[in-house]
Amino acid sequence: MENNQLCYEACILATHVRSAQGSRASQMQFDKAIELCPGLDYAYFEKAVPYLKRGDFIAWKKLIDKAVELNPNGHLGYRGWCRYQFLRDYRGAIKDFEKLDSLRDYDIGYSINGDYQLNIAKGLCYKALGEKSKAIKIIEEQLAKKDYAPMSYDYLHLGVLKMEMGDLEGGIKSLNKSIELHDYLAEPYYYLGLIYKEKKLEKEYKSNMEKAKAYYLKGYKRFDPYTQPMDKIFLAEIERELK
């Protein structure tokens, strides 16, 4: 860094912010840290976060781009995830994930909320772009890795993808795997119901829809405080199937 003493002081400032996130006082403290040490990527990153949460994506991107410029290995995964989750910039997210992968000879990491390994997120980006076969390939490759422990929604997304591609048996297998690993969501039962409806298995269709409704009413459903997650369902969709 430019000046060790100044950058040390900047690090102390940036990592000991006591004011509420996004407050004028906290933002001024990050500004001071950046003034002392313009190469301190952490200060740009922390200053950017409140803008993202407020929906000021232009201000957020200007700051996070600077953090990525200074420390790509440390911030590409975060920027890519936010491009996926908040901006729906799927091509930009893929670009960030692949650039990060080129910089590392180890795992590219997880989303900032801890819900997704970033290769799974890359697969979902391809799904959103209409490249569902590629999405399935990426997700299955990640799930096949020896030391990988599946996250809560991996098999849910894989099951829905297979259903959408007409592989009903593959969809059933993945959705049942989702339930086996994490039985606290309405979504796998809902999508299983749709598959059994397609297969004209009325009893299985209705029982899965009823279970989906029961889980939903207990609050067992996909939720994110900022955005609508992929493959999330709504009560009205379940009730429409039960009419």
Between CA 234 and CA 154, with CA 241 as vertex, the angle to 5 degrees is: 50
How much is the pLDDT for 68? 99
How much is the pLDDT for 1? 45
List pLDDT tens digits, range 102-131: 999 999 999 999 999 999 999 999 999 999
Specify the DSSP class assigned to residue 183: -
How much is the pLDDT for 19? 67
Domains of the chain: 152-243 (1.25.40.10)
Half-sphere exposure of 105 (CA within 13 A, CB side): 0
DSSP string, 8-73: HHHHHHHH---SPTT-HHHHHHHHHHHHH-TT-HHHHHHHHHHHHHHT-HHHHHHHHHHHHHH-HH
List pLDDT tens digits, range 174-186: 999 999 999 999 9
CB 157 within 8 Å of CB 141: no
- Ranges under pLDDT 50 in the chain: 1
Residue 90 tokens, joined:
């799927």
**Dist. CA 173–CA 168, nearest whole Å:** 9
Specify the DSSP class assigned to residue 130: T
List pLDDT tens digits, range 28-51: 899 999 999 999 999 999 999 999
pTM: 0.93
